Amino acid sequence: MSLTDTVSPLHALSSRRSMKFLRAPAPKPDELEQILQAAMSAPDHGALRPWRFKIIRGENIAKLADMALDAVKRSGDPRMTPEKEKSVREWMASVPLFLALAAKIEDGKIQEQEQILAAGTAVMNILNAVHMLGYGAFWSTGLGTYVEEVQEKLGFDSLDHRFLGFLAIGTPGCEVPKIERPDFRKFTSEWTGV
């Protein structure tokens, strides 16, 4: 049963929140297909389909941790202390599924910014679909997203891909706490002409 069987789709959208600490089970294979298919409904100027995803699960998550953490350490990032490495490894070991996210940029009349935005909206559809199916997710750019070696080793050629980080996906490790969201009026005004 999905969340939208019991609450309105709008309520489902506004009750989404990111959950970092996740455990098994991950969405089942048919659910993952629905989640990824939801990404295909993202708005997309020029129908370029710029979004790219790599599924990382099972024993490949430990390989991802080794690859990314080694690359981050080699890059000399002073924030990657032994304590930080330990906590990242523990976190990753409990997450059952990662998606690596990228935008493949095509030269031409569609601005790069628009292609990255289209990929971002595809990721948003994934976040919402995960939530609606009763799972949790967390978008992170913490794991070597800005270290070129990491994106190359994930198969996102840096010549034409912008690496957008990772989604951790799984079952929330605790009940999802309610969160107060800001009032939209603080961010919205009416334009009435010059």
Least CB distance from residue 23 to ligand FMN, whole Å?
Answer: 18
Q: How far is CA 122 from CA 40, 46, 142, 166, in A?
A: 7, 15, 20, 13
Residue whose CB is less far from ligand FMN, 33 or 112: 112
| Shortest reach from residue 69's CB to ligand FMN, in Å | 14
CB 7 → ligand FMN: shortest distance, Å?
A: 17
> CB–CB of 184/177 below 8 Å?
no
- For the record, the structure tokens of 114 come out as 């628009």
| Cα 141 from Cα 131, distance rounded (Å) | 20
- SS3 state of residue 110: coil
Give me the residues that bind ligand FMN (CB under 6 A), please. 17-18, 138-142, 165
Question: Among 121, 126, 131, which residue's Cα sits nearest to residue 12?
Answer: 131
Pick between residue 109 and residue 181 the one whose CB is nearest to ligand FMN.
181
> In sequence order, which residues have a C-beta less than 8 Å from that of residue 63 and are 6 or more positions away?
none
Residue 107 or 180 with smaller CB distance to ligand FMN: 180
- Residue listed under structure tokens 């330990």: 86
Residues belonging to the binding site for FMN are: 16-18, 45, 139-141
Closest distance of CB 109 from ligand FMN, Å? 26
Comparison of 28 and 89: residue with beta carbon closer to ligand FMN: 89
